[in-house]
């Protein structure tokens, strides 16, 4: 399991400090969005990657370094800013993976969008502004919620 390999790499202090040094040289701050933009290597799915004895997702490594925990099976880290290159831990959200659905969203965020969109008749751009995310992300959540409602009927 990937989570186990993160813990293995974190037990070696030298590799952990190497990764920390790489972050300084591989990121820049976007002051307007608050995102920490990864300038380093990307995998085929354009996810930020770093080598610490093996290639790892930067978000998972940052999460493990800050919390001392690893992701459980079926979890992944997404960002509330919806920027695929953002590695700012303040933007991290733990989400359940769900195949074959393309997007994964935290259930708490889906509940907020559902309430604002269906119960309060808020527009998607206003919901995005309130949640501090992008309108396209809110649109994808609304589409998912509509599909869930249709299948529940």
Distance from C-alpha of 83 to C-alpha of 77, rounded to nearest angstrom:
12
Q: What total number of domains does the chain contain?
A: 2
24, 104, 152 from 76: Cα distances, Å: 24, 9, 26
Looking at the domain assignment, is residue 35 inside a domain?
Answer: yes
Look up residue 108 and give its two tokens.
Answer: 């708490």
For residues 30 and 92, state if they share a domain: yes
Domain boundary among 70, 96, 122: 96
| Partners of residue 78 on adjacent β-strands | 93
Q: What is the pLDDT along the chain (153 residues), one digit of tens a residue?
A: 333 333 344 444 434 334 444 577 888 888 888 888 889 899 888 889 988 888 899 999 988 888 888 888 888 888 888 888 888 888 888 887 755 445 678 888 999 999 999 999 999 989 988 988 888 889 889 989 998 888 877
User: What residues make up the domain containing 65?
Assistant: 2-96
Contacts of 21 (CB under 8 A, 6+ apart): none
Q: Is residue 45 part of a domain?
A: yes
**Whether residue 50 is found in the same domain as residue 112:** no
Look at residue 102 and tell me if it is in a domain: no
């Amino acid at each position: 399991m990937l989570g186990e390999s993160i813990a293995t790499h974190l037990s070696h202090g030298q590799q952990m400090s190497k990764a920390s040094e790489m972050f300084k040289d591989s990121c820049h701050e976007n002051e307007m969005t608050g995102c920490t933009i990864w300038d380093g290597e990307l995998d085929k799915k354009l996810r930020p990657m770093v080598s610490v004895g093996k290639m790892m997702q930067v978000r998972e490594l940052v999460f493990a370094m800050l919390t001392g925990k690893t992701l459980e099976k079926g979890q992944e880290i997404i960002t509330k800013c919806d920027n695929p290159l953002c590695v700012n831990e303040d933007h991290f959200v733990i989400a359940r993976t769900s195949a074959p659905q393309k997007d994964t969203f935290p259930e708490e965020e889906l509940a907020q969008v559902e309430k604002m969109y269906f119960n309060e008749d808020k527009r998607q751009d206003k919901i995005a502004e309130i949640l501090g995310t992008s309108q396209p992300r809110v649109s994808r959540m609304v589409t998912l919620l509509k599909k869930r409602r249709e299948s529940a009927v």
